[in-house]
Amino acid sequence: MKQLAIIGQGPRGLYALEQLISNLSQSNTSVTILLIDFTNEFGTSYVWKTSQPESNWININERGLSGIEKRKKINYKNVEISEFPSYHDWCNYSLKSKQPDTFPPRSKLGRYLSQRYESLISKLEGFDNVKRSTAKVDAINLSGGKLIISSEEKKWFCDDVLLTIGHQPIVNSGQLEKWNLYSKNNPKVKVFDDSYPVEQFKKLKNKKEQSIGIRGFGLAMIDVMRYLTINNYGNFKVIDHNTFETVYYKTEPQKLRLIPFSLDGLPLAPKPLNKVIDDWYKPTSRELHYFKSSIEAVSKTSKKTSSIDFLLEPIVKIASRVFNTLKNVNNSKKLSPEETESIGLHWLNNPEYKHPLIQNNDIATYDIIKSFIEMALGNKEISLDYCIGQVWRHCQPALYSSFSHAQLDEDIIEQVIEKDERIKRYSYCPPIESMQQLLALVDAEILDLDFVQDPEIELTNEGFKLSNEDGKSAICSVMINSVLDSPKLLEVNSPIIKSLLNNQLIAPIHSKLGIETKENGYVVMPKNKKDVNIAVLGRLAKGSVIGVDAILECFGPRVENWAASYVKSL
């Protein structure tokens, strides 16, 4: 009997197991299945663990989680595995179009994933051919036609391996390395290489007097900010449930100071308030078909191209149509669609581009955030960049399906991914309430935005000294890195990936990207190498596929393609 190991049992590993069992139930084949995860929370793994603080919020609204559909009933080896409800049915989701979208804690989705997993594994563990193990895999090697999986305690021998592991640590940047060395020699300071788990900051949470620098100004920073400030001495209170305007009240005096910063210092733009406003930006089915076909005409045909205009031009065409139909737009000159498209292309190609239709980033960061909040509420003239960002979000599923496994030069693939990453400031962004909390902390003199844009950082005897162009300075005794680095395969620092590289069992699609894979998830080997039975789904395959970080992608066709292909190969 063939032996398969699925390493990584988060939501993607869960869906891979479901699809595997479903396909096996419709065939006359059988396989020994080994399920491995480094945590003991199978189904959730690290990101969605049920025990995390409720201050960690889901970044996609619950309305959007309709894509996590029910698991249909499976009859496997004369054992009935009951269907499991969709996420919406599980939580009895019901929200009217005009009601504000909900963004629950990540632990809530974690409970759903955990229950879904247990409802499946409770049936499967009755079979001798299904086993699960909690272990940290350190190495995978190939010997005698068998893949050897090793942890500190044990070895397993398999015919096939599916990797569904998520974010892996990468080699620290020179800046972080320098900071770590500095902290080892200075007992007054502390450096944290990662934002998660936020529970690692428990000893900082209730200190009344401290200044903390936060490297990064994105979603992880918000989780850190919220965890540290919901403490024994203060909390948030929404004072207007129509706008989520928030105050931070202190039950006791405290001198906590949080100082975030990033290279460009630009804040996130919150998602629209509700479905009604979100639908303003929704492309028509005809526009989505045009967008998808425009990309595939280049990405699937090996057509030579030196630019990514095949992506940008159709999306600004759609965004221009949307923008010119919005009621709340700053278009007093009534520009033509062609003129609006031209402005949009200039902005997409140059983030420094300035125009009256583009949000002015030269004003105070606090005011930029307020401006974006009012756009998200539908109360203010919509800027063209905000409009493009929301249209881009609606187009992302089509982009991800049309561009994955593109037959294009590596540099073009990298450019597309970089552009999608840049637009995530608008498309993968937090709810309005998170940004209102940020403003509330500024008002409470806890969050300091004076150093948000690339401050000079000096290592002193007293701590990290941050200085800005206005001559202001601040000393931080703690520095937290909240930047989630891209999965550059050659910089990944985890033992399992280093072993696969050293053993020449995987290769990057590009020196700055992830593992090259086929459409069924299996690793592409150099022409002079034999194929190996290793498949990779998720973040580490970034480059071959895009859109790997979204929770909905864990329950999508890429996993289904792998399962169908694997069972067919048996």
Per-residue burial over 211-233, b = 16 or more CB atoms within 10 Å of its CB, e = otherwise: bbbbbbbbbbbbbbbbbbbbbeb
**Contact (Cβ atoms closer than 8 angstroms) between residue 544 and residue 515:** yes
pLDDT surpasses 80 at 508? no
Q: Band of the pLDDT at 491, cuts 50, 70, 90?
A: confident
pLDDT at 387: 96
Q: Band of the pLDDT at 63, cuts 50, 70, 90?
A: very high
Closest by CA position to 322, among listed 274, 288, 372: 288
Cα angle: 371, vertex 375, 380; to 5 degrees? 80
How is 408-465 classified by DSSP, letter by letter? S-HHHHHHHHHHHHHHHHHHSPPPHHHHHHHHHHHHTT-B--TT-B--EEEE-SSSEE
What is the C-alpha to C-alpha distance for residues 89 and 68, in angstroms, rounded to an integer?
10
pLDDT at 410: 82
β-strands 255-261, 456-459 pairing: unpaired
Residue bearing tokens 């950082």: 457
pLDDT surpasses 80 at 487? no
What is the C-alpha to C-alpha distance for residues 195 and 206, in angstroms, rounded to an integer?
17
pLDDT at 300: 82
**Contact (Cβ atoms closer than 8 angstroms) between residue 382 and residue 323:** yes
Q: Residues 443-464: pLDDT tens digits?
A: 999 999 999 999 999 999 999 9
User: What are the CA-CA distances from residue 538 to residues 77, 231, 380, 518, 542 (Å)?
Assistant: 30, 35, 38, 13, 7
What is the C-alpha to C-alpha distance for residues 466 and 475, in angstroms, rounded to an integer?
6
Q: Residues 426-444: pLDDT tens digits?
A: 998 899 999 999 999 999 9
Higher pLDDT, 310 or 490: 310
Per-residue burial over 240-250, b = 16 or more CB atoms within 10 Å of its CB, e = otherwise: eeebbbbbbee
pLDDT surpasses 70 at 472? yes
pLDDT at 40: 87
- Mapped onto helix, strand or coil, the DSSP state of residue 265 is coil
How many other β-carbons are positioned within 10 Å of the β-carbon of residue 304?
A: 9
* Range of lowest pLDDT (165-174, 235-244, 474-483): 165-174
Residue bearing tokens 């002193």: 460
Q: Once rounded to an integer, what is the mean pLDDT over residues 145-160?
A: 93
Percent pLDDT > 70 in the chain is: 96
pLDDT surpasses 70 at 269? yes
Closest by CA position to 476, among listed 458, 468, 464, 467: 464
Q: 181: part of which helix (H) or strand (E)?
A: helix 174-184
Phi, psi for 136 (deg, rounded to 5): -100, 110
pLDDT at 511: 55
Kindly tell me the burial class for residue 402, based on how many C-beta atoms sit within 10 Å of its own C-beta (0-12, 13-18, 19 or more). Answer: buried
- Mapped onto helix, strand or coil, the DSSP state of residue 20 is helix
Q: Band of the pLDDT at 504, cuts 50, 70, 90?
A: confident
Q: Residues 327-381: pLDDT tens digits?
A: 766 555 578 889 999 999 999 999 999 999 999 999 999 999 999 999 999 999 9
pTM of the model: 0.93
pLDDT surpasses 90 at 407? no
What is the C-alpha to C-alpha distance for residues 13 and 7, in angstroms, rounded to an integer?
8
**Contact (Cβ atoms closer than 8 angstroms) between residue 356 and residue 347:** no
